[in-house]
Amino acid sequence: MASTTNMETVALVVNEPKADFALTPIVLDEVRPDEVLVEMQYSGICHTDIVLQQGLLPMVEFPAVFGHEGAGIIRAVGSSAKDKSLAVGDAVLLSFTTCGDCKACTSGQLACCHRHPEVNHGAVRSDGSTPARLKSDPATTVRSQYFGQSSFSKVSVVQEKSVVKLCSASELGSGVKPGDLAVYAPMGCGFQTGAGTILNVLKPTSADSLIIFGMGSVGLAALMAAAHLKSTQPNSTMLIIAVDIVPERLALAKELGATHTVNGRDHPAGQANGHKKADPLADAIRKITPNGAGATMAVDCTGRLAIIETMIAAIGPQGTAAVVGVPPADASIQLDPLTFLLENKRLIGVIEGDANPAEFIPQLIDLHRRGQFPVDRLCKVYPVTQLKDAIHDMHAGSVIKPIIDWTVVE
Ligand SMILES: [Zn+2]
Ligand SMILES: [Zn+2]
């Protein structure tokens, strides 16, 4: 690769809210000392990318390149990169970035960075600049550091903090097969979010009953992590209750270790009409738990308000409910505070599985290699030219984790 200043490439630019992801020539200004240049091989599509494209996250400005799950090859390393092992040719995975200065960052709780929203969703460098501009109109800059990386680009200028080294050039093709990069691309968001919520936060034991709402990529990653934990507990009686509305996804959940499945179509959810009204979905789930007492823990991966209400109703005394799916902005849920108090319930938010990606992603890859985290079953690869099909199939429920292939672009 020649000069790394004013480099031309193509990216899926969204020009304004609700506009299509359009494969567009862009120019990248330079690679700064704390950045690396990454040639993308694969990008995972996360539901959040669609929320962004629709303009539903208020802090995002346009035009912009989204994408926050990526796997690629380093083409240049900034002069002051902290990780001295980073080299041209390394295979890397991309994850979120951090401010580096707040209480959470300095204590190593990177996912809890107090400035997480602005440094990740702002999609610009800390000085407000952005690497990309339109080739057709050089005066128009394009926000191109979403999550510090914007992986929906053939080549992207990425913050070093967003990079997790997978292997060196010499190990690529031997230890790590190039096709593995497609399956590993979503490790940096969807898979670590689901698995981390279970392995880093909830940590269910043999005595627990766990409900997972939403069998998309996050929920199924959570389910696989729970099933893995259960397999390490001799004679474990852990209950894993999977809830969704798509029968095929519930069947997959059963194959991957769910002890029970509940189809939400059979039981209305939520208490939005008042707390005295019944919540048939919560009742159906509680019946599965020992003595009908309610589950000890639950994860919502849907972001749907009625489901979050059901989740809180379906856990029992001392139960913990975790909000993981992204709810709409400026929304509210209804909560019966007296029951919440008397039953000592806890409601928590968990971003990115409370993971430190550089430590956690290698653990997930190790689990995958041992057959304990079979996320390849969720992935389907599409050439970037078939992006519309990929998004359609994700919405239709026929594919759980679509992956964009950038190797088809010259
Ligand atoms: Zn921070
Ligand atoms: Zn995501």
Full-model pTM = 0.95
The stretch 252-259 carries a mean pLDDT of: 98
Helices 280-288, 305-314: axis angle to 10 degrees equals 40
How far apart are the C-alpha atoms of 323 and 212, rounded to whole Å? 11
Alpha-carbon 192 to chain mean position = 6
**Which one of the ligands is nearest to 126 CA?**
1
Distance 367 CA to ligand 1 centre (A): 29
* Upstream peptide bond of 131 is cis (omega within 30 degrees of 0): no
**Is beta strand 35-44 parallel, antiparallel or unpaired with respect to 346-349?**
unpaired
**Between 111 and 270, where is the model more confident?**
111
How confident is the model over 149-199, as pLDDT tens digits? 999 999 999 999 999 999 999 998 887 887 899 999 999 999 999 999 999
Question: Is residue 361 over pLDDT 70?
Answer: yes
How far apart are the C-alpha atoms of 254 and 251, rounded to whole Å? 5
Question: Is residue 276 over pLDDT 60?
Answer: no
Residue 271 is predicted with a pLDDT of 58
Cβ neighbours around 170 below 10 Å, total: 10
**Which one of the ligands is nearest to 99 CA?**
1
Domain boundaries, the chain: 7-188+374-405, 191-352
**Which one of the ligands is nearest to 113 CA?**
1
**Which one of the ligands is nearest to 187 CA?**
2
Distance 111 CA to ligand 1 centre (A): 8
**Is beta strand 346-349 parallel, antiparallel or unpaired with respect to 315-323?**
parallel
**Which one of the ligands is nearest to 101 CA?**
1
- Eight-class DSSP state of 197: I
Question: Is residue 378 over pLDDT 60?
Answer: yes
**Which one of the ligands is nearest to 326 CA?**
2
The owner of tokens 């080299």 is 87
Instruction: Return the SS3 of 298.
Output: strand
Nearest residue to 238 via CA among 195, 185, 295, 197: 295
Decide: 40 and 406 in contact? Cβ < 8 Å.
yes
**Which one of the ligands is nearest to 110 CA?**
1
Percent pLDDT > 90 in the chain is 89
Distance 317 CA to ligand 1 centre (A): 34
The owner of tokens 């035009």 is 63
Question: Is residue 394 over pLDDT 70?
Answer: yes
CATH superfamily of 191-352: NAD(P)-binding Rossmann-like Domain (3.40.50.720)
Distance 223 CA to ligand 2 centre (A): 17
Residue 403 pLDDT grade (very low, low, confident, very high; cuts 50, 70, 90) = very high
Distance 276 CA to ligand 2 centre (A): 36
Spell out where 114-162 has E strands. Answer: 132-134, 141-142, 155-159
Distance 148 CA to ligand 2 centre (A): 13
Residue 112 is predicted with a pLDDT of 96
Residue 273 is predicted with a pLDDT of 42
**Which one of the ligands is nearest to 189 CA?**
2
The stretch 109-124 carries a mean pLDDT of: 95
* Upstream peptide bond of 63 is cis (omega within 30 degrees of 0): yes
Instruction: Return the SS3 of 124.
Output: coil
Distance 234 CA to ligand 2 centre (A): 34
Percent pLDDT > 70 in the chain is 98
Distance 156 CA to ligand 1 centre (A): 23
- Asked if the 7-188+374-405 domain carries CATH number 3.90.180.10, the reply is yes
Distance 252 CA to ligand 2 centre (A): 22
Residue 277 is predicted with a pLDDT of 66
How confident is the model over 301-318, as pLDDT tens digits? 999 999 999 999 999 999
**Between 396 and 379, where is the model more confident?**
379
How far apart are the C-alpha atoms of 358 and 352, rounded to whole Å? 13
Distance 119 CA to ligand 1 centre (A): 9
The stretch 201-207 carries a mean pLDDT of: 97
Residue 2 is predicted with a pLDDT of 56
Question: Is residue 300 over pLDDT 90?
Answer: yes
Distance 48 CA to ligand 2 centre (A): 5
> Taking ligand 2, which is a single-atom ion, which protein residues have CB atoms under 5 Å away?
46, 48, 189
Alpha-carbon 55 to chain mean position = 19
Residue 278 pLDDT grade (very low, low, confident, very high; cuts 50, 70, 90) = confident
The stretch 113-136 carries a mean pLDDT of: 95
Average pLDDT over the chain reads 94
The stretch 222-236 carries a mean pLDDT of: 97
